[in-house]
Chains A and B, each alone.
Chain A
Amino acid sequence: MKEFTLNEDEQDVLQELMNVAYGNATAVVAEMLDAFASLSIPNIKVMPTKELLKTFQELKNSSYFFSTQAFNGEFNGESAFFINETSAQNLAKHLELETQEDLDDAILELTNVLTSTLTTKLAQEMNTEVSFSLPSISKIPLSEVENIDTFLQYSQVIVIDTELDFQDQKINGNIFILTKDESIQWLKTQLNTILEQLI
């Protein structure tokens, strides 16, 4: 198995592309929730899947639920979104939702809008397109996080981890964009092409 790494320049380019994509996605969600989010600098790492699952394991202790959305194309993989218990309750309050069903539905919609805007914009910046497979989004019980088939099929993943943070409403969540081996190679080529065009 070939081990991929991102050098400093590749990391910088990906981080900046992600920053722009995340800015767009946040604006859409902020409008949806009529709230203002603070943007954080995305954290980017190539890591073995085992390490990622350990991170997920830590997050699940405080989470309300976890949802994923797959995307396909030259750049393919899936996005994962964790929202914690307190944030879920604050979201329910903010949107005046009365039932758990309504809250789950709202979180799934939030995930859908956030991750599809994010990955679409990121792909667009890399001159490609992504499509979303159906069912495009699913709610995963926290107890099953480490057994998810799609995660286990990856050997290494690029993890782009950033936080959605609506401070006034006290709502925050963690977003992960995961891509596997062939996509990592494609991504490295694209990142270098972008950089070469500027030098």
Chain B
Amino acid sequence: MKYLVTDDSKLARLSLVKSLKAVAGDVSIFQATNGLEALKVMKEEKVDVVFLDLTMPEMDGYEALPKLLELNPKANIIVVSADVQTKAKERVIALGAQLHMQKPINVEKMQDILDIL
């Protein structure tokens, strides 16, 4: 199983990677700081699960999400965002995200996510 953590914030990436390692153990985790980098990783690595922030420079999560699914239709996209508005959740689900989760993702939330996948 390959994972990709996409967020422009180092804190958000570190925090998510820590929770992911605590639950999933020693797995392959790639990191990207925006949508463009995420697409590059997806092309090269065909990751299975993408944790995707929405508000990022260069290319945001809304734009990256369908493009990531074009590259790998089987990928599970988990949107991890501070934007907890109902319409934001509806929009990402309509774009093909598996889940929309509120930041930050602690170990308990990560366990829930991985149980669902």
Chain A residues within 8 Å of B, Cβ to Cβ:
9, 12-13, 15-17, 19-24, 26-27, 30-31, 36-37, 39-41, 194-195, 198-199
**Chain A binding surface, main DSSP class:** helix
Contact A37 B85 (CB under 8 A): yes
Instruction: List CB contacts (< 8 Å) of B23-79 with chain A.
Output: 54-57
Contact A23 B103 (CB under 8 A): yes
Chain A nearest Cβ from B51, distance in angstroms: 14
11 further A-B contacts with Cβ under 8 Å, apart from A20-B104, A23-B84, A198-B14, are: A12-B10, A12-B11, A19-B82, A20-B103, A26-B83, A30-B85, A36-B85, A36-B87, A39-B54, A40-B55, A199-B14
Contact A26 B9 (CB under 8 A): no
Contact B11 A195 (CB under 8 A): yes
A27 neighbours in B (Cβ, 8 Å): 83-85
Chain A nearest Cβ from B23, distance in angstroms: 16
Task: Tally chain B residues at the interface, Cβ within 8 Å.
Answer: 22
Does B2 interact with chain A (Cβ within 8 Å)? no
- Could you tell me the distance between the alpha carbons of A40 and B8 in the complex, rounded to whole angstroms? 13
Contact A13 B11 (CB under 8 A): yes
Chain B residues within 8 Å of A, Cβ to Cβ:
8-12, 14-15, 18, 54-57, 81-85, 87-88, 102-104
Contact of A16 among B11, B18, B88, B102 (CB under 8 A): B11
Closest to A21 in B: B82
- Could you tell me the distance between the alpha carbons of A39 and B87 in the complex, rounded to whole angstroms? 12
Residues A26 and B85 in contact in the complex (CB < 8 Å), given A9-B10, A15-B9: yes
- Could you tell me the distance between the alpha carbons of A194 and B56 in the complex, rounded to whole angstroms? 22
Closest to A9 in B: B10
Closest to B16 in A: A198
- Most chain B CB within 10 A, of A20, A30, A199, is at A20
Residues A19 and B55 in contact in the complex (CB < 8 Å), given A12-B10, A195-B11: yes
B10 neighbours in A (Cβ, 8 Å): 9, 12-13
Q: 13 A-B contacts, Cβ less than 8 Å apart? A: A19-B103, A22-B82, A23-B83, A23-B102, A24-B84, A26-B85, A27-B83, A27-B85, A30-B87, A40-B55, A194-B11, A198-B11, A199-B14
A195 neighbours in B (Cβ, 8 Å): 11, 14
Residues A39 and B11 in contact in the complex (CB < 8 Å), given A20-B103, A22-B82, A24-B84: no
A30 neighbours in B (Cβ, 8 Å): 85, 87
Contact of A36 among B14, B88, B103 (CB under 8 A): B88
- Could you tell me the distance between the alpha carbons of A195 and B10 in the complex, rounded to whole angstroms? 9
